[in-house]
Structure 1
Amino acid sequence: MNGYPGDPGFFGALKELPLLFKLFGGFVFIVVVGGFLYVILRGTWRWTANNASEVITSPVTVVDKRTEVWGGSGNSSASTDYYVTFEFDNGSRIELQVRGDKYGLIVVGDHGPLTYQGTRFKEFHR
């Protein structure tokens, strides 16, 4: 038996809701679940693609650095992502996300070998 006598329970109360509320609730549920599935599948695809890529080491020049700060509203702390743009000898460029400790050691104008795998930064030696 659910709750107290005469309690229709969750599904009983759901049956009494207007159709518009049911449709809106279903839409919100689908968007939220779909968003989670998209993020999980995209991350899995990127991880798999990076693992399937060969590890490449090539001479480069550092041409730019940037940060992206996100979060930090209310009582939550902010997070920072670090990116470095490398230019190859043929003029093509690649921007890779790097760890903060590596970001601090890299200076725009540095030359040296870059090791990366797909979109995954491995190492850069000045």
Structure 2
Amino acid sequence: MLPLAAQAEEKRRVDTAIWDRVDTKAISGDRILFKGQELLLENLTCPDPSETEGRDAKALMNTFLRRAGYFECELVELPDNRLRGSCTVAERRGLKGKNLSTGMVQSGLCHAGDRTKGSKA
């Protein structure tokens, strides 16, 4: 993760999305397809989806996205056209304001902290 001073200089924007299986869905527990672009969730690291725990994390993220339905993300566009950001549930079923990364950490399947979020692995 970038130092706080560097993060402050990044151009951040807020965008909203609705879960829809095509343009917005989980790629893994810590990455989602956000309106057709890969979004790396800040402060979240989950196992690879090739592992059982990683598949469970991906399924849980899809459940979170589907249940939330409508969410908003504070985004930064990376040089490789991916996005990095933090997403919260916008409004639905008493979940308003819940952070997706926090929910994944609370599940025990993932942990807080970024791995190589700024570069393609």
After TM superposition, the score normalised by the length of structure 1 is 0.33
- Structure that is richer in strand per residue: 1
Q: Which has the higher contact order (CA 8 A, sep 6+)?
A: 2
- Structure that is richer in helix per residue: 1
Task: State the structure with more CA Rg.
Answer: 1
After TM superposition, the score normalised by the length of structure 2 is 0.34
